[in-house]
Amino acid sequence: MVFISTRGEEKVTGAQAIVQGIAKDGGLFVPEKFPAVSAEELESMLSMDYPERAAFVLHKYLDEYDREELLAALKKAYAQFEDGDAAPLVRVENGMYMLELFHGPTCAFKDMALTVLPYLLRKGCDLCGIKENILILVATSGDTGKAALEGFKDAEGIKIMVFYPDDGVSKMQKLQMCTQEGENVNVVAVRGNFDDCQTGVKKIFASDDCKAKLKEKGYLLSSANSINFGRLAPQICYYFSAYCDLVTSDQIRMGDKVNFTVPTGNFGNILAGYYAKRMGLPIGTLVCASNKNNVLTDFWAKGVYDTKRPFHKTMSPSMDILVSSNLERLIFELSGRDASLTKTRMQALSASGKYSVRPEELKAYKAEFYAGCTNEADTVDCMYEFFEEYGYPMDTHTGVAMHVAQQYEEMIEKDPAAEKRPMVVVSTASPYKFPQDVLYALTGNDVKDSFKGIKRINLLTAMKVPESLKAIRYKPIRFKQVTSPEKMFDEVLKFV
């Protein structure tokens, strides 16, 4: 399959798209056309296990990769997940389901892709004939960083460097990153928020001077953020798997439409759902859930994407984002794949912090998505009430998603013409990754120590504590460096 840039100036193979991470014109790679999954093919996926389903979907995009080798890599990746099921679907009540994506090595949904990406990147280099070492740069709002570090630790011919916002991640997320093992890893805090980290990484990718200096040292740049199609593609797979699980458990009939609610920051997770829908999966509405940083909700309401607004630090830090990079891919699609217009809008975003879409485009957005947001108090109430009613603890990001899902369901109930469909809420992290905030939501009690919070949640819920989080308590802090956004490339040069 051929991939093109959203800004129109490059055309590459899937392997090249993964190795480069971002197009030379600053755009993001998208498939030249969406591969179709027929009703018969979807039927055939019902009897497959998760790695087999994932290999089936991924190979539709990455057809130059050997199918059997890809399946073997996926089996190896998902064998790292607890209890042998990478993406279990849990029925909460009639018509409401949780898609649990937090059973991997770092207890967040990023593991679904980042346990696979090292293979995709290394094999991509082989397919492209690339012999140089690879330097992966990552900007993280908390979860991507740890998942990428864990996925690439001690990988041959690869170094990985993660930038995270100082005071912009949870204590547990920070501990996970700063205690990371591996000889090829580095972690640096940035004075600022996630958008500062992401902008800094993008500037390095866009700079010919930076790339030339790295090439002198024998390194090519690549990305593990969801701007890289190799990060996005594995996320498409769990939408297909969740649908198949609904069919095989007799919750729906094949062909019935299903809604998904997704807690949204950089827009990659929910975009994967849109891609699944474009491939033929019977998805109804994709519900985009935001926290107090509700730039996406306002965009869906007004057709204006405006980042000139206060930035809020919340208890769902992985969603504390004002520049949702993957939205560029959707902008491209719903503009009629107008690369020139997409480029103009992204330039306006960079220059003025805002852009707008046409009324007919906004109508298309609203036909595919519903966007809603919630505040801290309502999220806490939702987490508490849900636990009281169903005995199901959720992390803060999933709490945001659940509250917005309930908003959407209430709206649908009031509309006699609206079609009622099953709702799958995408649960993106273990409650134990945010123990202090989760404990407060469930009990009203504050605790300063994260590990005391974990212990109390365990006593309250009897939910199993992930082994990887238990082990952090005794690991030494390896990374303490803090820098400014302007000095990020200086840290990169020190590392290589």
* pLDDT tens-place string over residues 257-312: 999 999 999 999 999 999 999 999 999 999 999 999 999 999 999 999 999 999 99
DSSP of 146-207: HHHHHHHTT-TTEEEEEEEETTSS-HHHHHHHHT---TTEEEEEESS-HHHHHHHHHHHHH-
Q: In the sheet where 423-427 sits, what is the strand order?
A: 89-93, 96-100, 423-427, 258-263, 283-290, 369-373
Per the CB < 8 A criterion, the answer to whether 378 and 403 are in contact is yes
Q: Are 127 and 165 in contact (CB under 8 A)?
A: no
Flag whether pLDDT at 417 surpasses 90: no
How far, in Å, CA of 163 to CA of 495, rounded?
A: 13
The Cα 342–Cα 347 span in angstroms is 9
From the number of C-beta atoms within 10 Å of its C-beta (0-12, 13-18, 19+), residue 223 rates as buried
Q: Which residues pair with 369 in a beta bridge?
A: 286
Nearest CA-CA partner of 488 in 225, 176, 166, 152: 166
Residues 24-56 have pLDDT tens digits of: 999 999 999 999 999 999 999 999 999 999 999
Cα 278 from Cα 474, distance rounded (Å): 46
List helix spans (H) across 208-323.
208-216, 229-248, 268-278, 295-302
Tell me how far CA of residue 489 lies from CA of 136, 142, 185, in angstroms. 13, 20, 16
Query: In whole angstroms, what is the distance from residue 438 CA to residue 451 CA?
Result: 12
The label of the residue with tokens 């997770």 reads 269
Instruction: Write out pLDDT tens, residues 449-492.
Output: 999 999 999 999 999 999 999 999 999 999 999 999 999 999 99
Using CA atoms, how far apart are residues 131 and 129, in angstroms rounded to an integer? 6
Distance CA 451, CA 448 (A): 9
Please write the tens of the pLDDT for every residue from 423-453.
999 999 999 999 999 999 999 999 999 999 9
Provide, rounded to the nearest whole percent, the portion of the chain with pLDDT above 90: 96
Q: What is the pLDDT of residue 131?
A: 87
Place of tokens 């591969």: 35
Q: Is the C-alpha dihedral spanning 318, 321, 326, 331 positive or negative?
A: positive
Task: Return the bridge partners of 206, or none.
Answer: none
How many whole angstroms separate alpha carbon 138 and alpha carbon 128? 22
CB neighbours of residue 84 within 10 Å: 11
DSSP string, 287-305: EEEE-S--HHHHHHHHSEE
83 has pLDDT over 90: no
Q: How far apart are CA 233 and CA 215, in angstroms?
A: 28
Rounded CA-CA distance 461/450 in Å is 16
Distance set, CA 473 to CA 96, 146, 172, 175, 454 (Å)? 36, 16, 10, 8, 11
Helix, strand or coil for residue 485?
helix
What does each C-alpha distance from 329 to 98, 116, 266, 272, 378 come to in angstroms? 26, 22, 11, 11, 31
Quote the pLDDT of residue 311. Answer: 94
Give CA–CA dist 316/308, Å, rounded: 21
Helices 50-61 & 67-78 angle (0-180, nearest 10): 140
Handedness of CA 296, 376, 321, 393 (dihedral sign): negative
| 219-223, strands of its sheet edge to edge | 219-223, 133-139, 158-165, 185-190, 482-483
Long-range contacts of 64-67 (CB under 8 A, 24+ apart): 64/13, 64/14, 64/15, 64/127, 65/14, 65/15, 65/120, 65/123, 65/127
Question: Across the strands, what pairs with 290?
Answer: 373
Least confident of 112-116, 143-147, 267-271: 143-147
Compute the average pLDDT of residues 347-351: 96
Structure tokens at 208: 């010919």
What are the pLDDT digits (tens) for 197-252? Answer: 999 999 999 999 999 999 999 999 999 988 999 999 999 999 999 999 999 999 99
Helix (H) / strand (E) containing 472: helix 467-472
Question: Mean pLDDT in the chain?
Answer: 96
CB 105 within 8 A of CB 115: yes
Q: What is the pLDDT of residues 97-107, one digit of tens each?
A: 999 999 999 99
Assigned CATH for 85-103+235-465: 3.40.50.1100
